[in-house]
Structure formats: structure tokens, C-alpha cells
Structure 1
Amino acid sequence: MNKTTDAAFRETVARHGDRPFLCVPSDPARGYHQDGYEIDYANAAGAVDELIARYRDAGYGHGHRVAVALENRPEHCLHKLALNALGISCVPINPDYRPAEIAYLLDHCEADLILHLDSNADSLRAAMSEISRDVPMIEASKFADGPPAAKRPAPIAGPVTPQSEASLLYTSGTTGRPKGCILSHQYELMSGAWYADLGGLMALEPGAERVYNPLPLYHVNSGILSFFGMLLTGGCQIQPDRFHPRSWWRQVCETEATLVHYLGVVAPMLLNQPPNDLERAHSVRVGFGAGVEPGLHVLFEERFGFPLVEVWGMTEMVRVLADNHEPRQRGSHAMGRPQVGLEVRVVDDNDQEVPPDTVGEMTLRYSEETPRFGAFSGYLKDDPATEEAWRGGWLHTGDSVRQAADGMLYFVDRKKHIIRRSGENIAAAEVEATLQAHDGVAQVAVLATPDGTREEEVFACVVAVNESDRTETFARELFDLCFERLAYFKAPGWLTFVDDLPKTGSQKIQKHRIFGADGDPRDAAGVFDFRKLKRRR
């Protein structure tokens, strides 16, 4: 894929101009496109050309970065294509971020412009009050009048290339602050081509597929993987605002989806819905996702009539592994075998390869000659972290797996201190830092605890400065602190007070010893349950 995203888009427009490109299901309760929306490739190209003209006329060009806060609206995709055509990087903003989190993103990426909805203007202004830079803003509904003029010339001279930055996606890091993953045009197109060429149960028919993806456009799954998979094959991306279990089958049937994307949370929530006629009236051939509970895998397929293909991917390398060929290893956490262009090595803590069926960390590369080909370009302003991730010429994923003698890989656990809740990666260190900032907190450790619906939940263990503060009132005060400063999903769903935290001789907290190897934190005495308070605002 030695081309730019704009070149790839124009080629598809020439081949599939009259085919649908983007679709939004109808939803009377949604604040936009209540009656649904669909645009074909030819009309999308016209809309993109108009956006390109507005950006160019305002002085934006190669090397600029635009922070995009359009949630899951199809306009996000059109603006991304326009930005990339000019060599501008698209920096999506998670709509659940609090002002302090947005401020860090804007400051760290040195955004040149913010494209936003009217509904998130106040949060963005509050974020700007926390940084020293004044970033121009333009509301999407007023973009036809043109954005504010760029405050600096385009930083990069020369044409846009496959190596130019196309997106900057922020992903949770184990040290607390999110890291900015630089994704090139080549990365995005190679990811889409890999998706399109998976074959087996994921074989795509050019110009005919319609993928229903309820995941966020500000994540790599929907915003890059399926989006470019559809763009390269003349398919249509169906983009609801988010996952809604009650309207799932109506929307899937109404939009004639042939593929659906899912996370582990989707299966139990759909299985818990009462049976209805639509759940077997769909056109879905296959589901594509990760994290389905082993005991639900077969149940889901038998009730709803299509296979769930379990996959593995990460922002740094989203050319996915997939268990997409029969016979599949259903209910086993199997996630596919290495392929040409995606070599895998399972290693111990000393980066030594382990024998088959031994748990170790999964590391990846393209090949020995070009290990980083098609992967992310690096972490913005953090070369040491980039080199650490690539130590020894292999990308360290932080995920523990085991590999059978036949090459099949099975997911075991996350090696990093990352909590996976409903598809969101939460850095324990970020929540710990927020709690530790309270004067009444002496020490804190945050860990993951199982959750039957959301895969994992945030569990905070707090050592209070004053023993008299070990009350529900103080626990709620700490929850509110996190809820105000962090995205809602990062706040502790569970919180307990402990006398002390076990440590090594070098004073590192040993989280695995707090409740023991077989202990369930939720069963401990004096645990406060705040899960019902964790709601979007």
C-alpha cells in the first residue's frame, strides 16, 4: 500500500461511485440524522472536495494537526479524508474526556484547530483555560463558512506521502498519561487491506459488504480498521452512535448489515434480551470482535445464527490476528495464527522465547528484515517509550498468551496494568494519580476486577491518612473526585479501605498480594459499590 489515503479513496470512487459508503441507522431519540443517513462514494467525494477547499483556503496543510470532536457522526469520516488529503493529521477526542484530559491532549499534540459539536463546546473551552495556548475552534455546523485562519504555515513542505501522519490516536499508557500513537497513511491502508484480505469466514465481496460497527470512531477498530477495509473494497460502513442492545437487531436488519463488530460486552447483553423475530431476520454472515466469554460463544452462535470470529489487535499494530478458518476453537480464547507479514514470538520476562503451551508475552513484527513495516510510526514526543516497545526488534504487546504446537495463539491476560472495561483501556496509574492527589489518601492501588457485563471494572484500594475517614462518605468523595477529573468510565466502580499495601524491598506495591491469588476483591469486607453512579453526563 504505497499510496496515500486520498489516492486510495479516489480509486474506489472511480470503481464504485454509485455504491453506498457511509450509513447511519434511524433513531428518533438521537440528536442527529434521526431518520437515518446514507451517502454513496461519488457524493462523498464531492463533500470531501468541499471540505478540502475550506481547509486549504484557511491555510491548513501538510503537518498541521486538527483535533476532531464529532463523536460517532459520519461527518468525522468525511473530515478525516479531507484532512488527510492535505497532509493534515486527524486527532480524535474521546467525548467522555473531562476538561483536564482534553487539555493534555490539545497541549501535547499542539493542535492547530479544533473541529467540534455545539454540545461539547463548553468542555473544550474549559480545557483551553488550563493550557497556555489558544487553539482556534470551529463548530461543525458552521464549517461551510470556513474555519479560522491557521496561526502558522504548514510545517512540512512537499507532497503528502504514504509515510505522512494521517492520525494521532491517544491510548492509555501504564505510566498514567495517554500516549499519542502516530499512524501513517501507509499504516491505515495496510490495516484496511489486511482486514479485507483475511479470507475464510471473513472473505469480503467487493462492492457488496455492509459492516455495522457500533464502536467509537476515535478508536482504531472503527475509525481505521473497518473504515479502510470498507473503503478499499467499495463497502459501506454503518455507524450508529454507540451500542444499544434494545435497538441492535432493528438497526442491523434495517441497514442490511452483512458483518457486525462486537466487544465481549455485546454477547451477554444481547443474550439477556427477550427473543424477538428480528434476531433471525438479519443478513449478517459473521461477527468480528474480541472478548466473548467462552461459555457464551456457542450459545450466541446457536441463538442468532452466525459465527463470532475472535481477533486480536492493538492501536500500535492493528493488522489483526483472527480465528477465522474452520474448524474454529470456539470458547477457548483462540485468536488465530501468525501469518506472513505478522510474525509472532512468545517470550518470558528476559525476552527469551518460551516453549509451546507456555504462557508468555506476545511480541510481533512484520519480518526480520523490516520489523516495523506497517506498524505505528512511534509515540509522539516519546522516543524512549517507542524504543522500549520495540526492544530486540519485536513490538512488545503487554499481553500474555500461550501458543500451541500447531501455532494457534490463545489469549491469557494483560501483562500491563491496564483495565479493560467495555472496550476502553484504563491505565491504573492514571486513576491512582488522581486519588493520590487527595490530601486524605496516604497510598492507593488500583486493579482490575472481573465484571460479568463489562469484562473488567476499576477497583481501588485506599490507605486513608486518618483511620476515622474509612467511611462511605469519604469513599463517595474519592469516587466524585475521579468522576469529575476523569472520563466517567475510569472512576472506581468498587472502592475499599485497607490498612496497608504489600510492597517489595524496593517499595513497589505488589498488587497480586492484596487479596491473594484466589481472592475476589468484591468479597472483601467493607467494599463500596459505585457502579451505578458511572454514567455518561
Structure 2
Amino acid sequence: MELQNSLYDLFCLQAQTFKKNPFLAVPRRLADSWETERETSFGDAFTRVQTLKSQYAAQGITEGDRVALAFESRPEFVYHYLALNGLGVCIVPLNTDLAVDELAYQLGHSDCSAVVCLPSLQPLLAQCVSATGRELALSINGPEGLESLWRPRHAHEPVTRPVDRPAAILYTSGTTGRPKGCVLTNVYTQEAALYNLRLPPHLAFEVGAERQMNPLPLYHMNAMVNTLGSAIVTGSCYVMSGRFSATNWWNDIADARVTRFKYLGIMVPALLGQPETERDQHSGVKVAFGAGVDPTLHERFEQRFGIPLIEVWGMTETGRFMCVDREPRQIHTRACGRPLQGLQARVVDDHGQEVPDGETGELVVRHSAENPRYGFFSGYLGDPQATEKAWEDGWFHSGDLCTRSHDGLFTFVDRKKNIVRRSGENISSAEVEAVLAACPLVKQVAVTAVPDALRDEEVLACVIPAGDVPRDRDLALSLHRFAAERLAYYKPPGWVYFVNELPITGTQKVQKHRIFPQGFQPDMPGLYDVRDQKRWNK
């Protein structure tokens, strides 16, 4: 299958081939509340996309514009995305769990001209637009309210080939505070989609017949790029189940006739915790793809449900992924895969030299020696220095520590970057530190990751309090509330640890690995568990 000028063009081509096939579906329990059909064919989706494209064009939306979308993980997002892509517009998917200041930063940093959102999100987005200090157009449900567009003072860089146009900017947590905007082109979105056609036969999509459910949000590459793209190129149905619900999971699978699904490691213990039923072995699901399953639970899940969990590795920057593509899958380890055709990987030391098999080093990837960056993100928006640093020596540096076996299987060891990975969300320690450092009750703070049985990792704030305030649970709760008022619900500390000093180097850098030299223990003096305060509340 050849590349088209845009993902929209690829969709139009496939919509003619699979006109009557189901394209998007939602479980019965969500259809009414979302006010959407339970199932939409490729042909009907094509009609909706064409209508929206004409409406956006009539409102003056044109090539080079950037439009933020806030439709959560609903079918409407896909229609708007493809319509705007057909006009040469770059979208910015918004995570509306973020705080106002965080969303305002993304709107400003990305130079959005307009925001289109669900009616229920209008109050939040209005606050965000106001916080940018710009007169951004804000419209509910569609293009009708976009008569007056704010235009950035500087023109976006001209693009000579449509295939090289930015299709989306996805924000991913960096290690130095503010999230970075990954610019994804039409080459990226299509190559990431076509990569799914290179899966080995026992994992391959049955063209025109698969129904894949993904509970991950559409502001993540996994859902917006990989799952949507794989549906387009294979004529498959993308089942959109909303936020993950362990209690509804198997009912949704039966209701939507799901044949494969995506998962995160956090989902596995939650599903194993559900009561056993006779249908555990009869869900109809053939295979599942995901990352981060606890090796102690991997075999137990597969034996109970009869579904192989295929571990993968990927990043927003890479688009394409590695997967554990054959037996033995080493399910009692953190084996994360092998690259397929179109991706090369190796493990290197701090000097960029490849290490022997079995030794730990940083995982680096590329397309090929001749064209290393082909199909990857085109760069971090407004930060060419960070982009070039990530591509040092012609390989993209993942920041993940891995080993490689003699047969080419990569196994994840640890994270080199200063990131807390909680329930599949990457949280920048520096971002949380910056917020807590602004609190009058804090003299000094360091944020790090600690193990969490349910969520993989949790955020811990190691704090030297200011003044003589009592170092008790009330203070811990106050610090949590201070962060929760300024950050998304999952980012504030779940643990607060009061200390008299932090281990530092001669250049005053905190040595986080020395905070718990004997390992993290939940009963340590001065440590307070405030994880029960971290609740999602739309």
C-alpha cells in the first residue's frame, strides 16, 4: 500500500474499498449518553468527514492552521481530525484532565487558532482560552462558531509536499518541566498505520474482519495514531470504550464483538481482581497488545482468560513499535519486543557505543542508516536543540535502559529519564517539583518514582518543610492539595516524605537514588500515604 498525500486521502481510498464495513463502534452502555450510533460504517464516516471538511473550509480554516480538539475518546474526534487533516490543518488533541494552566500552556505554545470541543467541556475550555491572553475562537461540537480566528504573529514554516505537513502536535512529558510538543507529519501517521501490516501471520489483522477495542485516550499516540491507523489500513472496526472500567470490560467486549484489544499493565491486576465466570475462556478475543504487564501476573492472566498478552515498546516520537513477535515470549521477564521491517534498534553505552548482548544500556532506534529519521516525529515544537540532542549519532535516544538477547529480543530494565510512569501516564518529576517549590510551606523538594503494586509507579515528594510547621499528615495533605489545584489529578504526590536534608552533589544536584539507599519502605518515619486523595473528578 503506497503513501498518500495525507491520512485523510488514505482514509478516503480505504473508505471506498470497505464502504459497508464497520469503522467505529461504541458499547451499548455508552451510545445513549454519548448521543452517538453504536456503529458507523466506513461509508457513513466518509460522508460525515466530507460534510465537516466543507463546513471548516467555509469558516476560513485553511492549510497551516492549528486547531485544538477536545472530544475525549468519542467518534466525533475521528471525524473532525480527518476533516481537518484533509484541509492541511494540524490538530492539537487536548487532555481535559489537565489543569487550566496546563491546557493554556499547550494552546499558547502550539499557536492554535481555534478550539472545538464537546458542549460539556465548554466552561473549562473557555477558562483555558482566557488564560492564554489570546482571542482564540471557541466552538461547540463543530465549525459553526469559528468565524473569527486568532492568527499567530509569525507564519508557520512553509511545506512544499503535502505528505510532510504536520498532521498533529501531541504533548508528551519531558524531563525538564514543561511537556514537549511532538510534531507528527502525514508521513508519520501513515507509516505508523502501515507498520501494522508487517506483523507476523499469527498476530496479523484479518483484513476487513477485526474489531479492536482500545480504552486509551485519543490524545495519546497509541489510540490516535496506531489503533485508528490500523483500522484504516486493514478495514477494521475501532471499538471506543471510553475510560477503562474493569467492571464493564468483558460485557463491553461481548457487546461489541471484540476480537483484539489494547492494554496497559495497570489493567491486568484490575481484570484479574474481577469475579471468575464461565465466560472467562470464551470472550472471543484472539490476542491483545500492550505494555507494562507485571511478569508475576502475565502467565496467570493468560491461563485464566486464554488470551496471549503481546508486549510492545513504542514512543510518541517513534510512531512504530517493537513487539514480542514469536515464542518463547519470555513472559516472566519484561521482554518488550523486536523491531519489525522499517525500524532498527540497538543498545548503547553513555558514549554511543553498542554494548554486548546481555549488558544494560540505552535503547536507541532509527528507520535506517540511509534515512534514520524517516517516519519518526519531525521534531519538538520550537525546540530544535532538544530535537538534535535526541538524535545524537543518528539514532533516536529513547531514555529507556534495556538489554538485548542473542536472538534479538529486547528486555526493559529501567528508565533513564526523570519520569514517573503512573497508570500509563508519563509524569515529569521536574514539573511537579516546580509546582511544590512555589508553595510557602516548602523549603526544598525532590520528586521521584516509587513502586506501586496497582499503578506501576507513584509520585513521591521528598520535602524539607519551611519554618517550624508540624511535619504531620495535615501538612502532607496541604501539600497535596496545593499541587492538585495546579496539576492534573494524577500528577500530585501520592506519598510525601519529610526530611531534614536532601542528598546532593558538589554542584548542588539532588542525588535521588540516595533518598532510599535501602529501598523504599511504606512504614518509614516521616512518610505519609496520601494516595487516597488522588481521585479523578471530571
Q: What does residue 403 of structure 2 align with?
A: 402
Partner of 1:7: 9
Partner of 2:307: 306
Moved more, 40-49 or 277-286: 277-286
Corresponding residue SS for 2:445: strand
Q: Which runs of 5+ in 2 are unaligned?
A: none
Structure 2 CA distance for aligned equivalents of residues 68 and 268 of structure 1: 32
Q: Do structure 1's residue 385 and structure 2's residue 386 form an aligned pair?
A: yes
State the Cα distance separating 1:152 from its structure 2 match: 4.3
1:114 aligns with 2:115: yes
Any conservation in 2 of the 1:26–1:33 contact (CA below 8 Å)?
A: no
Go from structure 1 to structure 2 and tell me whether the alpha carbon gap of 1:364 and 1:455 turns closer, same or farther (over 3 Å shift).
same
Of residues 127-136 and 359-368 in structure 1, the stretch that sits farther from structure 2 once superposed is 127-136
Gaps of 5+ in 1: none
Equivalence for 2:241: 240
Amino acid paired to 2:355:
V
Q: Deviations over 1:251-288 (max 9, x none)?
A: 01111111110000111000010012343332111010
Does the CA contact (< 8 Å) of 1:21 and 1:39 recur in 2?
yes
Change (3 A) 1:105 1:460: same
Q: Which whole-Å CA distance do the structure 1 matches of 2:409 and 2:30 have between them?
A: 45
1:10 partner SS:
helix
Please name the residue that 2:101 is paired with.
Answer: 100
CA gap of 1:359–1:183, structure 2 versus 1, over 3 A, is same
Q: Name the count of aligned residue pairs.
A: 533
**1:317 matched residue in structure 2:** 318
Instruction: Kindly indicate whether the alpha-carbon contact (under 8 Å) linking 1:27 and 1:33 is maintained by their aligned counterparts in 2.
Output: no
RMSD (CA atoms) = 1.7
Structure-2 separation of matches of 1:30 and 1:408:
45
Cα contact 1:62–1:155 (8 A) shared by 2: no
Is the 8 Å Cα contact of residues 344 and 365 (structure 2) preserved in structure 1?
Answer: yes
Query: Any idea what the Cα deviations from partners look like across 1:466-506, whole Å, max 9, x if unmatched?
Result: 24342222221110011110000001111111111001111
- What is the distance in 1 between the residues matched to 2:35 and 2:401? 42
Other-structure match for 1:163? 164
Provide the rounded CA distance (Å) in 2 between the counterparts of 1:395 and 1:144.
Answer: 38
Q: How does 1:116-265 map to 2 (within 5 A)?
A: 116-140=117-141, 143=142, 145=144, 147-152=146-151, 161-265=162-266
* Shift in Å, 1:231: 0.6
1:156 Cα deviation from its structure 2 partner: 7.2
SS of equivalent to 1:446: strand
Quote how far apart the aligned CAs of 1:200 are: 4.0
Q: Partner of 2:57 in structure 1?
A: 56
Taking the TM superposition and a 5 Å limit, the aligned residue runs for 1:489-528 are 489-516=490-517, 518-528=518-528
Equivalent residue runs for 1:281-292 within 5 Å: 281-292=282-293
CA distance in 1, matches of 2:524, 2:435: 23
Write the distance in 2 (CA, Å) between the matches of 1:358 and 1:299.
29
User: Hey, what's the Cα distance between the residues in 2 that align with 1:383 and 1:362?
Assistant: 22
Percent identical across equivalent pairs? 44
2:138·2:145 contact (CA, 8 Å) conserved in 1?
no
Distance 1:499 1:521 in 2: 18
- How far apart are 1:160 and its partner, in Å? 6.4
CA deviation vs aligned residue, 1:185-213 (integer Å, no higher than 9, x gap): 11011111112321243211111111000
3-state secondary structure, aligned to 2:33:
coil
Check 1:156–1:50 CA distance in 2 against 1; reply closer, same or farther (3 A cut): farther
SS at match of 1:83: helix
- Rounded to whole Å, the distance in 2 between the matches of 1:355 and 1:197 is 28
Distance across 2 between alignment mates of 1:144 and 1:340: 40
TM-score by length of 1: 0.96
Find the counterpart in structure 2 of residue 460 from structure 1: 461
Query: How far 1:428 sits from its partner (Å)?
Result: 0.4
User: Mean Cα displacement is larger for which, 420-429 or 326-335?
Assistant: 326-335
Structure 1 residue 155: Cα displacement: 5.6
Deviation at 1:33, TM superposition (A): 3.9
Q: Secondary structure of 1:443's match?
A: strand
Conserved in 2, the CA contact under 8 Å of 1:195 and 1:226?
Answer: no
Given that 1:245 and 1:269 are in contact with CA atoms closer than 8 Å, whether structure 2 keeps it comes out as yes
Question: 1:405, CA displacement in angstroms?
Answer: 1.7
Q: One-letter code of the match for 2:17?
A: R
Distance (Å, rounded) in 1 between the aligned partners of 2:97 and 2:188 = 27
Matching residue's letter, 1:523: D
Q: 2:211 touches 2:238 (CA, 8 Å); kept in 1?
A: yes
Distance 1:372 1:28 in 2: 40
Kindly provide the CA deviation profile for residues 362-386 of structure 1, in whole angstroms up to 9, marking residues without a partner as x.
Answer: 0111111100000000000000000
> Partner of 1:488: helix, strand, or coil?
coil
Q: Structure 1 158/322 Cα, relative in aligned 2: closer, same or farther at 3 Å?
A: closer
Give the secondary-structure state (helix, strand or coil) at the position aligned to 1:481.
helix
CA deviations 1:118-173 (Å, max 9, x no partner) are: 22222222222322211100011xx2745334344996778861111001000000
Matches within 5 A, 1:336-485: 336-485=337-486
State the TM-score, normalized to the length of structure 2.
Answer: 0.96
